[in-house]
Structures are given as C-alpha cells and as structure tokens.
Structure 1
C-alpha cells in the first residue's frame, strides 16, 4: 500500500468499523510460536513483467507495443536461477484474473472499461474472476488456467513454494466469474440491492443512486487521454456500490480505490458485527481449535465465498497467500479462513498487510496469520537511516517491542508498493541497501522478502503511464531494464548485466543463501548496539551490532550505514553473552561468512570480550566463530 492508500484505509477502519482487538495487545509469551528450523526467503515477482524482453517502454503503451511476460517464461532454468539466489518461496504477483484493457472477447471475456481501470494493464488488486488467471499471462488465453497449473508444477519441481495474492477486502467493479466451479455464485448475485446493508449481502449499496465516474484532476485522463470506445465518462452500476477503501459516495474521488467495490463481511455501516466473536482465550489456541469453533456457526455469505476461493487454489497446489489490506477485514474472518486453509495444508504460508502495530498480535494470534509486514517499525526506521537523518539507535527497541512475535514480522526493503532503493526518492544508490539488507535479513528469525530487480539495483525510473517513476509500475505494460539485462533474451544468466549489477546480485546471493542455511539465524538474538553506544569510543549511530547464536553456530553481525566514512572501533561483548556462549578467557577467531576474507580475534578476559572492527563505508560483516 502506498501512503495515500494507507491513510485512507486507517481512517476508514477507525471511523467505520472500529478496533476491538486492543485487549490482547499486551506482550506475553507467544504459545503458538512455531519451532524455527531455517529462515525463509520470499521472492516477489511481478509476473507480467518478469519475462518481458521488449524495451520500447512507451508511456501508456499497449501490450502489443510494450510487450508482456508469460507464465511460460518461468522456465526450469529461470526457476533454478531464482532458487539458487537463496529463495525458498516465490510470490507470483498479479495472477488472479483482474481487469485489463486488452481485448479478449474472442475468448469469451468481456471488455473492461478504462473509466474504472487503473492503467492499461490494470491493477492486480481489482480482481474480476477469482477462479481463473490473468489472460495476459498465457500464450493461449483459452488455456490460461492450465498454463498456470503447469507453472505451479515447474515451481515445485525447482524446489520452490508458490504464493499468490488474495484480496478479500474488495473486488473489481465488474466482477464476472466465467469459470466458476459448479454451484459457485458470483459476488453480489444473490444480494438484496434495495438496502444499504444486509448481513449476507456481499456488497454495500446506495439504493436509488447510480454510480458516477470520478472527476479527474491534475490533467489525468484514462489511458492518458487516448480515445477508446468505452472511455466515455460512464460506467453502468445501479445502484451504486461502496468503493473498496470504504468510500460511501456514489461518485468516489479519483484518489479512492474507485476501480473496486468493498466486500461486506457482516459489519453494518455503524460498525456492528453480525457474527460470533472469538472467546478471549482463543488467542492462545491453535488453528485446529479455531477451525472447530466455526463448525456449525452461521457466518456471512462473503466468508464462505472467500474460503471456497482459497481452498480452490490450495487444491491446485498453491502453497500460500499474500493477503492485501488484511486489517480492513474483521479478525474473526481470518480465524475462519486461515484455520480452514491450515486444515488442508498445515504448512501453508499466510502473509498479510497489516500496518497498525496495535493490531499485530490480534491478527497473528486470533487471526492465525503466519506473517505480517514489518513496515511501520523496522522498514520505515531503516529507510530513514539509509536516507540520512535516521539513527541505528532506534532499531534495538523495535526488536525488543516485537520480541514475542518477532518471527511473524516479515522483513523487506522493497515490494510493489514501495519505492525502489536506487530511486532518487528513496536512497538514490542501490549500494545503500547493502547494510540495510544484512540487518533486515539477519536480525530476527522472520522471513525476508526480496522484490525482483532489487538484487540488480533496479531504480524504477520509467514513466509507464498510470504508474509514476520510483516504483516499478504495477498498472502498465512496461519493461524493467536491469531485469531485462539479467534475463538476457531468456538465457537468465546476466549476460547483458553491468558489472555493478553482477556485483550486487552476487552480494544478494551470498547473503540470502547464508541466511537460509544458518542455524544461528533461526535461534537466539542479543543486542550489542546499546551496550557499545554507552561504552565504546568511535561507535556511532550509523553502526549497528548484534549477536545471533545456536548450539552449532555463533555470529556477530556488524554493519556500517555511513556511505562516506569508515568505522573503526573495539566492539565490546558483554559478560552475559560470553557466558551464554560458554567461552573461557582466551582468543577466538571470527571470519566473515559472506566473503570469507575478513577475520578478527575476540579477546575474552575476566569474562568480557573485545573484538577489533574495521568497516568500510556501507560494509557489513557476519562474523562467525571458527
């Protein structure tokens, strides 16, 4: 979610639905904390952009002009190269059939109206048909589902798990299931549209009012002003439906999620919840108990529809889901859905967008989410440090605050909603992401998310049309230059990559592979930064140090976020950590686990340790006890 979407969503939740989950936000031991054997790495790839080798990049370009990637571009070789980067899961973004402007009427698919579509390629979060996939992604659109099923099989053969998006909060305004399984009814097909709200209606209505297309501002026009038969300032919707971000006006603002409609989960307009609440002690119950709780209970129709959708994809071999804007959907629904998924696949990987820290524990413990984005704490803090004004002093308190749920807080530096590191609006230099990535990947047991092209320093500089530079557009047909150089006409060998791109990718490959194979990173953590800020000369607020360890492996991680100045200091290792590591007085050699060229000695005397550290600008070491 970008900042505008986030502000809207938080305002909507606060005013319309209220927050009832604060009662379990006290920090207490997480009895459901899973045993962590190894860290996981999710590689998010924007599916339509992955294999596109067309370099035209015309703003508002058509599929024919700018090209598009296909499921078949993920060859066995491509998937092997992704896995070898140090990846365990691949999130294929933009798979469910969403609105597009390309004409597929020859395949029985209705055209989509530019007045309610963002961009020409469409938003992946305006899903038109949950039981099929984006026709853009198929060599033969008639066989698009079979082509995706083949991709699932190839991905599994490569040793990777498959994630796709599910967007329970909203659907496209023109939702139309063409390939529904027998007995499945479309969203809204059985609604009583004569009332604003009814518990089993799938949508919210404005009876007696027609939908009106937003008033366009700031010189914006659909398709950049290009003439199109359906771009006439009209969209037939009577009565008007509430918009996906909760806007209730029959004519939403252009900054609303006007291309989508809000799903009704049994929450009345005044915030009343027309479904059973989970007992308070259920935050300490496992998914089996949650599943049993919902058996025989009446739930809103929309709950059942989304459960059926999720289980449909589980049956096809999808290993997990990324849930868009999960905090805009009641936590009880997530208990109902996620427990049903886990009954089918106990190892399903369930990742959600939740941006309000006071809701984290509710959505993890009651909602049975495996992972949430750690955006507003770790990501925002690291971004500020990379941009200059931030201080590493703010990182250890975050880890302390989240200690009881640290495994559940997925870390990232890029995703489709966020600016590219190399963009001038973020850091302006991909190398500034190196210490940030070391810290992000090694500071906790949580999974790491890497966005395709991040490992190559992609700046997202293209003016794609609807999408603006600094983020790689998710709304347009576009090429991703650094990634195209790595794809190298489907050789997937970096044959056209620059030396800088090759070097950065090598760094990511070393780091990610270290993290998924390190027993220490799946075990204990101790902050060394606070102690050294108080007791060590020349240890600054642009440096960060911490320890990670297990019985088999002992690590000290040190990073220098300063792009101009080297850091030289004698790192102090406190007595309690020396004791935990069972080290006697003496000398111990540590070697960097990434490049294996830097070594230093830990001197332990009277139960306390000291180790000399010399860090070049933007350098990090993962020092491993030999």
Structure 2
C-alpha cells in the first residue's frame, strides 16, 4: 500500500555552512557558503532518519551571483540586476548547469551535483529541484548547452513586441533602466563594484518577470528577471490550441498524444528539453515556481512529456489561486500544489491566536475532491519562520499545527530545514528583512548550525528544548510515512464534540483517520496556556463503519509511544476521557 510522502526542503547553499560571522552583505569569504559535498552520507542518513522520503534541493541551478568565476568562462553578474550578493535562485542564468558556489571545484560542479544525487538515492531518498518556467535572469548565458540547444532569445525577432516563437516580450526601440532604489537599499549595501553603476545594458528592453511592461521596472517588481513568452499575446489571447475540457479526466498519455505533432511555441520545447535533461541526470521530480503565471496548456504538454519518461516523477507547483487548483491538477497534470491559501493560512491564524479550529474541517471538506494533491507545510523559503516574532515567536507553538498538517489528509507533508530545531530567521543578511532565512545572501543559520555540530550532524550543540523539538518532528514524521490509515479515510469529529462535549472549544481540534487494518483518533490542543479536560466522543456512524462492539478497547498513543487510555463504547457511541495539556496532541490507535 502506498504511504505518505515527506519532503525536506533545504536551501542548498546554506545547509553545510558552519561560518557564524553573519555580516550583512558579507562576501562568500566573510560569511561562508555550503557545498554539495557537505551532504555527506552521515548528513543524509540523519535527514532520512527524521522521516523524510524526498529532498528538495533549493537553489541548485546556476543563477546570477556576485562572485568572480571568469576563470571558468562564466561572465560576471551585474549587481544592479541581482538581488543580494549570493543572488536569487529564481533568476536562473544557465539551465544546463549548477551554481558554481556550491562546488569545491567550480569546473566540476555538474559532477559534484551528480555525486550528491547518487548519495541521496543511496540514502533511500528521492531528489527534487526547481524549474522556474515563468522567468529567467536578465543576463541568461548557457555555457554548457547540449548539442542542438539554442539559448533563450538567441533567435528572437527583437523588432516586435511579440511573436509566437520569441522567447521574450520586447519594448522595441527602448533601453532598459534599472529601478529607483528605495528604503535605503543600494546594491551590495553600497559597496563599490565596477559593475554597480545603476546601469545594465539591455536593448531593446524586455518585459520584467512579473509581467511589468515598463522599461524601468519598479523596485518591487522582479527586476532581476525577464518574462518568458509561451505564445500568449500581449492582449491575453492564445496563439496555440486550447486543451478540450474533457482532457481534465484523461491521463498523461492522452495529453502527450494530444500535443504530439501540433505546432507549439518555441519556449514550450525549450523547457521540455530542460526537464528531460534533468530526468536523464537522475533527478526524480521538480518544484515549479509560480506555475499559475504560465498557461495550463503548457503544463499539460510539459508534464505529460515528463510522465511519459518517468511515470513516478514528483511534480509540485506553486499555485496560490484556489479557483485555478483543479485546472492545474487535472488539465495541467500536476501531482501536487501548495495548500497555502486554504490550510496554511487557516492554521497560521489559529497559531497566532485569532483563528478558530472550526475553519479546518470546512477547508478539508472544500478540498475533499483534491485533498491528495494539496501539499501541506508550515514553513518554506517564502514564509516567515514559525519562531520569528513576526509569526508566533516560539517554535513549540507549531506542535499541534504540525500534527494536524501532517495527519489531516493523504497529501505530502513538507518541512523546511531548520524548522525541526526552531530556527527563527533572525539574521540581517543584507537584501530583505529578518523573519525569513535569507535566500539572497551568504549567511549562517544558527539553530541549524548547532544541529550540524561542525559537520558531525548529530545535534551535539542543540539545547535540550531544541533536541526535544527535533525528537517530536522525528516521531511524528516517521509515524506518518509508516501509517496505512493516513492514506485512507477521514472524518471530522470536531463539530460533533463542540456541540455535545463540555470543556471542548475552538482551540481544540479532533478528527479520525482509518483503513481496514488501522483506526486512528487524533486530537490537538492549540492553546499555549490552557489545559482541557473532557470526554471526547466518537459518533455512532463512525463506530458502525469501524464495526466496533459495545465494550472497552485499549488505545496505543503513537506520537509519544504511550498507552493506558481506553475507548469505552456504549449504545454505539465511543468515549475517551481526555486530559490535554497546553500544545499537546495525541494520535490514538485502537487495539482490536
């Protein structure tokens, strides 16, 4: 039987960095950088032991960086169109190579990543990397393209705003201007650099990555990137055949056959070639950045090609508009989408104290038809760290939220490196503000570094509280990847108890999960200050579905490995005497 998936997102350049200088805008020499080689067999074994099935290595592809690699034939990047000093991983400069910062020997960077992929597979985990289809770096330069691959824009007609086979959109007869810097921001924090002159040569100017058509994009635009043209005209109409609605019910092979021999925009083929290249390299799947900014027909084309090559490829997309979820899953053939706007935002509000648990069963009911496809998370590189004062300021407040997030549905669970030890993201790295671990600069990640313990990867410098937190994540995640019931049925018992149970309120949540051989009762207390004593009731219809008798059943607690609790069934209704301490959760398995 298929089990739950757990994705460990790791910011690759930060993982192995033991340097704790953390100077704002610090250079690679001052602040240090992690390498592919830091993911040793020991490090990978510890990640696997946490309860992880897939690693998403974020920031692997060669993106624009402020570091001199001209000795390796790589052109220097202009600070006026690079965010931070280490650069945004979402401004890809070369899709057929990897970030030279991450290699011990930059001339062998692809070989070093290949070895990491092999080590990860040897450790029993699968590898995910980013593909950023909506935009690329302004200074894209493919140095190691496979034979026959032409760079983005190399054959574009730059005399027109749009052509179906242009890779970019143009503003003919103009020159690009860098944005007006704001909020005291200056490239490299104001440090002198021969390329930092508030100029970047781009003639004619191209549309910016977020769709801005200004020759001088705003500071808050994605000014370091240019938008890819997928055959969508400037007025929004499409220059390709639309996918018939009935294909929402068809598999990837039918989608593949639909696009076969059809005329498609050049950019579609370029990204297909990129994805297939990395599958051949050994990568097991992709996280697609800002997928909703790219037409769903392209995803039908790309993902069906990927699945024809590897039916088990893991395809995760960043989509934030709930009205688009079903199209991108069914017509775009995505495996998984971020469940941010519904579940994450609801749980965040509860953790912050003003949301009610009543909303979670409502969210789950609304997602019932696609719940398996909605990946759950509490942290990623875009979101505030839980322990940041701007979120809730204390990592332990995530415990009930994490139990609910990881056990509510059959969907994958994702955690962000450092989350398991309470990393608060407090460093001022340079570009951007604290509360999120910087993705733009060279920086150390203190709580994570304490777990690394000078690359012994044994948690030797963690505090007792940090060790307990990691043990909690380890216990929870390992249970989820072994449980059959978590891939089975779900039913809410929250409202049943709220209406009938004294001492139960909107800071508590309860639900059940089951399959033929495993029956679970899950209850969580989101309150950091209050204990709850009540009799948790299991409705008659669930007792009937489970075919339980009017008698007493023993309960095994799976999260803390406890027992002693009993389920009493009388007149077809189950009762458990509950004492829930602040932030406490239980996962009870019925012994039959």
**What TM-score do you get using the length of structure 2 for normalisation?**
0.99
Deviation at 1:294, TM superposition (A): 0.5
Is 2:134 the counterpart of 1:169? Answer: yes
1:134-166 superposed Cα distances (whole Å, 9 cap, x missing partner): 000000000000100010001000000000000
What is the aligned partner in structure 2 of residue 468 from structure 1? Answer: 433
Deviation at 1:598, TM superposition (A): 4.7
What is the aligned partner in structure 1 of residue 461 from structure 2? Answer: 496
What is the aligned partner in structure 2 of residue 24 from structure 1? Answer: none
- Indicate which of 66, 79, 89 corresponds to 1:101: 66
Match of 2:473, SS state, is helix
What is the aligned partner in structure 2 of residue 422 from structure 1? Answer: 387
How does 1:104-143 map onto structure 2 within 5 Å?
Answer: 104-143=69-108
Match of 1:614, SS state, is strand
Match of 1:404, SS state, is coil
Gaps of 5+ in 2: none
Is 2:279 the counterpart of 1:279? Answer: no
Match of 2:48, SS state, is helix
- Indicate which of 7, 11, 19 corresponds to 1:54: 19
Match of 1:411, SS state, is strand
How does 1:111-510 map onto structure 2 within 5 Å?
Answer: 111-510=76-475
Hey, what's the Cα distance between the residues in 2 that align with 1:599 and 1:213? 66
Hey, what's the Cα distance between the residues in 1 that align with 2:69 and 2:217? 28
Match of 1:470, SS state, is coil
8 Å CA contact retained: 1:467, 1:476: no
What is the aligned partner in structure 2 of residue 13 from structure 1? Answer: none
1:511-555 superposed Cα distances (whole Å, 9 cap, x missing partner): 000000000001110001011111111111000000001111110
What is the aligned partner in structure 1 of residue 515 from structure 2? Answer: 550
Deviation at 1:597, TM superposition (A): 2.4
Match of 2:358, SS state, is helix
Hey, what's the Cα distance between the residues in 1 that align with 2:562 and 2:547? 26
Hey, what's the Cα distance between the residues in 1 that align with 2:211 and 2:495? 43
Hey, what's the Cα distance between the residues in 1 that align with 2:435 and 2:294? 30
Hey, what's the Cα distance between the residues in 1 that align with 2:174 and 2:515? 63
What is the aligned partner in structure 2 of residue 83 from structure 1? Answer: 48
How does 1:569-580 map onto structure 2 within 5 Å?
Answer: 569-580=534-545
1:182-208 superposed Cα distances (whole Å, 9 cap, x missing partner): 110000000000000010000000001
8 Å CA contact retained: 1:592, 1:624: yes
- Indicate which of 10, 15, 36 corresponds to 1:71: 36
Deviation at 1:607, TM superposition (A): 1.1
Hey, what's the Cα distance between the residues in 2 that align with 1:239 and 1:494? 53
Match of 1:97, SS state, is strand
What is the aligned partner in structure 2 of residue 26 from structure 1? Answer: none
The number of equivalent residue pairs is: 591
Match of 1:392, SS state, is coil
Hey, what's the Cα distance between the residues in 1 that align with 2:532 and 2:442? 44
Hey, what's the Cα distance between the residues in 2 that align with 1:334 and 1:570? 49
Match of 1:509, SS state, is helix
Deviation at 1:572, TM superposition (A): 1.1
Deviation at 1:599, TM superposition (A): 3.3
Is 2:546 the counterpart of 1:581? Answer: yes
Hey, what's the Cα distance between the residues in 2 that align with 1:85 and 1:39? 14
Hey, what's the Cα distance between the residues in 2 that align with 1:244 and 1:67? 30
